[in-house]
Amino acid sequence: MLKCDRWIMEQAELGMLKPFQSSLVRHLDSELRERPVLSFGCSSYGYDLRLSPKEFLIFRHIPGTVMNPKRFNPTNLEPTPLHEDGDGRYFIIPAHSYGLGVALESMKVPSDITVICLGKSTYARLGIIVNTTPVEACWEGHLTLEFSNSSGADCRIYANEGICQLLFFEGEPCSITYSDRQGKYQHQPERVTLAKV
């Protein structure tokens, strides 16, 4: 069953999401409707996570290098500077490239829940694809997020604003949670976590 806003708010009080925004924020000054932002916070049946300003890494092409998930080479990644102007703080993801960021909020998933992370339509309309990521029962940490810029133009990715939506699905209790099996991506910090085997 897909969980609703009431359930999300109840679980947030128990520590499922920190920091937690109980309503969907579309403007930093909501009364004056000033400074629009890419929405973040609790919606009817989901939660829009924010992108952390701490780190964004872009894959770069090194001739003769083949990416190998079993022997991941971090020199294939380069940090991207955080920029700021009147529209907010942002990273730039170059055309036809791939990048890694991290969620600002930390998560602690309940034992009977699986979370699916999906992209936001505003970014999708620019050609930014957020990898669909499952988050298993009892996973904890800051979610590393994967982005593909499929467009022919460089695009901004805004920090401290909505970057993806979480959907929470309740299932039968599982025999072994992600925590029980000591999953390799457990307790990720608010930094990009690289591929592990």
Cis peptide bond N-terminal to 81, omega within 30: no
Taking residue 114's Cβ as centre, other Cβ atoms within 10 Å add up to: 18
Q: How far apart are CA 6 and CA 190, in angstroms?
A: 27
- CA dihedral defined by 16, 18, 23, 25, rounded to 10 degrees? -140
The first and second tokens of residue 177, run together, are 């949670």
Per-residue DSSP letters for 128-190?
A: EEEPPEEE-TT-EEEEEEEEEE-SSS-EEEETTSEEEEEEEEE-SPPSS-TTTTT-TTTTB-S
Query: Catalytic amino acids?
Result: 146
- At CB < 8 A and 24+ separation, what contacts does 149-152 make? 149/93, 149/94, 149/95, 149/96, 149/97, 149/98, 149/99, 150/96, 151/95, 151/96, 151/126, 151/127, 152/95, 152/96
